[in-house]
């Protein structure tokens, strides 16, 4: 997966089950604060979890409003104004990829901020 300053491409799952690469809406991306790559600032890491590289994660969906709200919630967690979220919930796809069941907007914020990996719980 390639990213540059102007676009953010990521994998998502189409309704027919195919994994395809799409691009994050640039207008939405322009509104997002960059978040330091330190998951402990945003996540409650008290339960067992895996740190999964972002390149192995497939978004199930991308809701523009959810992406913006996740950015706001993550910033509030850093400041201690909100509880940290649980790790993302994922399940295995056939080819060493993981589908995000819960946390799609959080994942897109991590992608936008160029994180390497994110905490996940498998189900």
| pTM, entire model | 0.91
Confidence of residue 7 (pLDDT cuts 50, 70, 90): low
Label the pairing between strands 117-122 and 98-102. unpaired
CATH 3.90.1530.10 assigned to domain 9-122? The reply is: yes
Axis crossing angle, helix 104-112 with helix 64-78, rounded to the nearest 10: 70
Q: What is the mean pLDDT of residues 85-92?
A: 97
């Amino acid at each position: 997966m390639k990213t540059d300053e102007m676009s953010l491409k990521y994998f998502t799952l189409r309704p027919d089950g195919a994994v395809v690469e799409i691009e994050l809406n640039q207008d939405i991306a322009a509104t997002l604060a960059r978040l330091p790559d330190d998951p402990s600032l945003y996540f409650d890491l008290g339960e067992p979890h895996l740190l999964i590289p972002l390149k192995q994660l497939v978004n199930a969906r991308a809701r523009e409003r959810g992406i913006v709200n996740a950015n706001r919630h993550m910033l509030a967690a850093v400041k201690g104004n909100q509880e940290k979220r649980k790790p993302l919930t994922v399940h295995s796809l056939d080819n060493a990829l993981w589908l995000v069941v819960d946390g799609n907007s959080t994942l897109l914020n991590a992608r936008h901020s160029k994180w390497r990996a994110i905490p996940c719980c498998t189900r």
